[in-house]
């Protein structure tokens, strides 16, 4: 009997770390608020486009344009930034600049993390908004560095994984895991738009404007938009 006691004590001691291990608190579900959000376009530059090899090129191009167009759809502030655009990285996509001729475009002369650039930081802070929607090239640097810096400053961050690209699926996955561990919400285009819109009965933007956005920028959801338009003509339909 007494010979068993030492083994029992060892067994109980081994259980103590397990019982003492704290359970991390659940991350609260935070909704995107159109009145508290700002959209960042980070290094969507012509010279960096070919580095986004984890996507089909045509799809990724469309996703970049769609990401930028979210700002216009919901009339939320947009801030654009480029890295060393007079060098091999080249300029921001002209299609995006044409959308926002009056929005801030911060040209970083050397800072890799956009948050290290005082002008960019001040532009974000000047909005007074705390929810950041961002995407960039490349995911592991331009998107991740900025997302992590923003989280460290207390911002809530939504990283658009469909408009962030990098050199390989492996690098994409480890970068997304790194951001997620820091509390960055990894989301796609449809999720962002749906969260900001919330209700098909909202007047601004209207359901028709949302449907038009899907038709133009997200063909995968075109059938859903057509279904909605068909349902509008049916007085008994509830959408």
103: Cβ contacts below 8 Å, ≥ 6 apart: 71, 77, 78, 79, 80
**Beta bridge partners of residue 131, listed in sequence order:** 37, 156
**Beta bridge partners of residue 134, listed in sequence order:** 40, 159
**Beta bridge partners of residue 140, listed in sequence order:** none
Query: What residue spans of 31-114 are helical by DSSP H?
Result: 57-74, 94-99
User: How many whole angstroms separate alpha carbon 63 and alpha carbon 12?
Assistant: 55
**Of residues 184, 187, 186, the one with CA closest to residue 153:** 184
- What is the total residue count of the chain? 239
**Of residues 225, 220, 219, 203, the one with CA closest to residue 74:** 203
User: How many whole angstroms separate alpha carbon 103 and alpha carbon 97?
Assistant: 8
User: How many whole angstroms separate alpha carbon 197 and alpha carbon 206?
Assistant: 9
Q: Which residues are catalytic?
A: 142
Which H or E element spans position 211?
helix 207-217
Query: Are 224 and 197 contacting, i.e. CB atoms less than 8 angstroms apart?
Result: no
């Amino acid at each position: 009997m007494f010979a068993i006691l030492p083994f029992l004590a060892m067994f109980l001691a081994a259980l103590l770390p397990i019982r003492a291990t704290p359970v991390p608190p659940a991350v609260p579900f935070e909704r995107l608020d159109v009145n508290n959000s700002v959209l960042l376009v980070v290094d969507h530059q012509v010279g960096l486009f070919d580095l986004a090899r984890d996507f089909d090129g045509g799809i990724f191009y469309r996703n970049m344009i769609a990401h930028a167009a979210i700002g216009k759809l919901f009339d939320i502030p947009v801030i654009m930034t480029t890295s060393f655009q007079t060098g091999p990285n080249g300029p921001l996509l002209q299609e995006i600049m044409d959308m926002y001729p009056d929005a801030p475009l911060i040209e970083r002369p050397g800072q890799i993390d956009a948050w290290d650039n005082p002008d960019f930081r001040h532009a974000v802070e000047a909005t007074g908004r705390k929810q950041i929607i961002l995407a960039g090239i490349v995911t592991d640097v331009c998107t991740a560095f900025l997302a992590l810096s923003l989280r460290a400053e207390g911002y809530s961050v939504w990283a658009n994984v469909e408009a962030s690209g990098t050199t390989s699926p492996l690098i994409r996955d480890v970068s997304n895991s790194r951001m997620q561990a820091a509390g960055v919400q990894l989301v796609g285009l449809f999720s962002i738009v749906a969260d900001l819109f919330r209700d098909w009965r909202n007047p601004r933007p209207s359901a028709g404007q949302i449907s038009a956005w899907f038709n133009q920028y997200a063909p995968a959801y075109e059938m859903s938009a057509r279904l909605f338009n068909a349902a509008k003509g049916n007085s008994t339909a509830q959408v």
